[in-house]
Structure 1
Amino acid sequence: MKYSKTQQAVNKLVEDKVVPGVNYAFIDEDGVQRYLVGNRELVPEKVKLTDGHLIYDMASITKVVGTTMVILKLSEEGMLNLDDSISKYLSSWKHPEVTIRNLITHTSGIEGYIPNRDKLNHDELIEALLNLNVGNELNHKMHYADVNFIFLGLIAKEITGKPIHQLITEMVLKPMNLSHSGFKPDADKCVPTTYDKQNGLLQGSVHDPKAQVLGSDCGSAGLFSNMDDLIKFVECILNPDSNPVLKPETVKVFYVDQTKHDLGRSYGFERINYKGMPFIWQSGYTGTFMVLIPKLKRAMIFLSNRVHPVAPNEYYIERRKPLIETYLNENR
């Protein structure tokens, strides 16, 4: 199948200098179509994007490729129940009404502001997060927040005694043969994120400030991966019977709303019904996203470093939605 309008929209992003370059792919009944456009780096020198195997900072894609898979695997093995109170595992947490299901669907209602957050060390940040409050949005509103998946990582560690990054490596990356994915990549094989004259390029080190502080205990970010591995992952979600980590019946519920009031969240992914066509998707702050259409067994994977050379580049967010809608319309 051809996606000419989507390709034009991606090319326009680069032409308009919304992103330096894009490594993207379409998966459908005809196989996999892969494309490269633009540059991998703009400063201190311009470098063209010519290698489709380069590694990207996945940012929040970590949530679905890694932490969600670990939590669901622990659930399959009877080591936790998705409707368990998180207080069962995080003893200092003061709101037992919040469940693991709330965390994985971003319906926990956790709210609050942490002063000087980026100046806190590992233990101080965890303590501050565990002292946040819960408002009246619990189960009634989806509020996407990293704290939910940081807590999921801490719960997995409490159960297994291993940090979440180690669990992701052992329970997801190795069984799926995602051999180019991990948390300590070869910097030379990575597409850079931010740049400043004092520190130079941030390349091969995680961009997310919380992930920098929490290290291997961060369940919300930290994973580096490339197109080769993301194609493998997406194909294992599109085809439940071929998933080497989770049971087919578990994978199938990725496409079902898992909230109490149909708030449009599945396990990790957002679930949207676009003009009668359901799809799930997840994005990463650094400029990554994946869109999966279950009924058609089709997907689009988009990798860019939109925070290069300077974050946050909010204009990219404005342009991302119409790009995804263009892709969805070409599948209707």
Structure 2
Amino acid sequence: MAYTQTKAALQRLIDDGVVPGVSYAFVDGDRVLSGAMGRAAIVPRSEVLRPGMTYDVASLTKVVGTLTVTLQLLAQGRLRLTDSLHDWLPGWADRRVTIHHLLTHTSGIIGYIPNRDALNAEELTAALLTLHVGPTFNRKMVYADVNYIFLGWILEQALGAPVQDLVRQRVLEPLGMRHSTFTPSDPTQCVPTAFAPGRGMVRGQVHDPKAFVLGKRCGSAGLFSTAADLATFCQGVLHPERVAAVLPPAWVHRLTADLTPSGKARRSLGWALTVAQTPTPHWVIWHSGFTGTYLALDPATDQAMVFLTNRVHPYAPNEPYLDQRNAVVGTYLAEK
């Protein structure tokens, strides 16, 4: 397919000044249609967006990296959905929270950390472990980075290495995602994100403040990737039997089911769910990242869209982007 309408919707994001540029990839089975349009940067000077540039994909780290390693250990029986967070991290006091709660964002973990962004890694780690469980526990899906930070620490306990090292060894390298990294060596190949106090224009370093402090021990953000590499990952999710050692098929095939306690929160393990109407109504899995990144995968039709922007450039949060992004996704789901 040419995806003429979806590409036109992406171009409108640029023409309307919502984002500086867009990199995209449309997956149809073994075929990938990709491209780039617009600018990589508008300050301190205008810079054309080049094909193959690398993005800080923010929370896509959760599903590409941390979730994938977690599924591997679930398939091997080294973790169970019913495992208590306390059993793996004794510094966490509440024994009710399980891996299932963390994966589906139904843990209800809340709390305020004073001066959070001024803390060092040791201080932030200790502060996160003092958070508490609120009234939404096991009842409501409330998306929170802390769930996947804790999952990363569980993986570290299980496998003996920081979560970002585990993602590199167990996901990026075996899938051949050779342009994906947590430590970009050439910032000029990275699309800049936002101006941050004390850091200036962030480029080639993770934008997320918690990930910046926690470094290799952060499972909620920190990955840099390209549209082509993310298309490769999507093809693995669509055909897990081809890469069963990385994406265990029995678990991957469950990702199109609502696995929240209520069964009504439109959330699977890691992924969010939306409905595609053709050929008949069915679930599509998706995830977004704060910096302006998005994946949508439709296993029923063997299709996926990778949609990367730097919506926080030069300043976050750029709230108007969200409605425009949802319109692009709606156009894609209707067109495909």
Normalising by structure 1, report the TM-score: 0.96
How many residue pairs get matched? 330
- Alignment CA distance shift 1:281-1:175 (3 Å): same
Change beyond 3 A, Cα 1:29–1:67: closer
1:81 alignment partner, SS class: coil
Q: Which runs of 5 or more residues in structure 2 are unaligned? A: none
**2:257 alignment partner AA:** V
Match of 1:12 in 2: 12
Distance 1:90 1:319, change over 3 A: same
Range 51-60 or range 187-196, more displaced:
187-196
In structure 2, what is the Cα distance between the partners aligned to 1:205 and 1:58? 11
**8 A Cα contact 2:25 2:228, kept in partner:** no
**Structure 1 stretches of 4+ moved >3 Å:** 195-200
3-state DSSP of counterpart to 2:260: coil
Deviations 1:261-314 (A, max 9, x none): 112111211012344231010111111001111111111100111111111111
Question: Greater shift after overlay, 231-240 or 26-35?
Answer: 26-35
Match of 1:58 in 2: 57
Q: Describe the shift of the 1:198–1:78 C-alpha distance in structure 2 as closer, same or farther (beyond 3 A).
A: closer
**Secondary structure of 1:174's partner?**
helix
Match of 2:271 in 1: 269
Question: Aligned-pair distance for 1:107?
Answer: 0.7
What per-residue deviation string (whole Å, max 9, x for no partner) do you get for residues 109-167 of structure 1?
11111111111111111111111111221221100000000000011111222110111
Contact 2:236–2:247 (8 Å) recurs in 1:
no
Gapped runs of 5+ residues in structure 1? none
Q: CA separation in 1, counterparts of 2:189 and 2:91?
A: 41
CA 161–196 in structure 1, closer or farther in 2 if over 3 Å, else same: closer
Shift of 1:318: 2.0
Structure 1 window deviating more from structure 2 (28-37 vs 253-262): it is 28-37
The structural deviation recorded for 1:246 is 2.5
**Displacement of 1:101:** 0.8
Aligned to 1:131: 130
Q: 1: CA distance between counterparts of 2:5 and 2:238?
A: 23
Counterpart code for 1:69 = T
Label 1:127 to 1:199 Cα distance change in 2 as closer, same or farther (>3 A): closer
Query: Which whole-Å CA distance do the structure 2 matches of 1:29 and 1:91 have between them?
Result: 44
User: For the Cα contact (< 8 Å) 2:60–2:294, is it kept in 1?
Assistant: yes
Tell me the residue number matched to 1:241.
241
2:316 to 302, 311, 317: 311
* Aligned match of 2:93: 94
The code of the aligned residue for 1:223 comes to L
Q: CA RMSD in A?
A: 1.5
Separation in 2 of the partners of 1:30 and 1:229? Answer: 14
2:27, 2:305 within 8 Å by CA — same for their partners in 1?
yes
CA contact 1:19–1:304 (8 Å) conserved in 2 = yes
Describe the superposition over 1:228-283 as per-residue Cα deviations: whole angstroms up to 9, x where unpaired: 21111000001121124132212111222222211211121101234423101011
Larger mean Cα displacement after TM superposition, 22-31 or 91-100: 22-31
Report SS of the residue matched to 2:175. coil
Distance of 1:63 and 1:88 partners within structure 2 = 22
Displacement of 1:2: 2.9
d(CA) in 1 for partners of 2:124, 2:196 = 26
- Is the 1:24–1:302 Cα contact (8 Å) retained in structure 2? yes
TM-score by length of 2: 0.94
Q: Deviations over 1:171-198 (max 9, x none)?
A: 1111111111111112121111124797
Secondary structure at 2:316's aligned position in 1?
Answer: coil
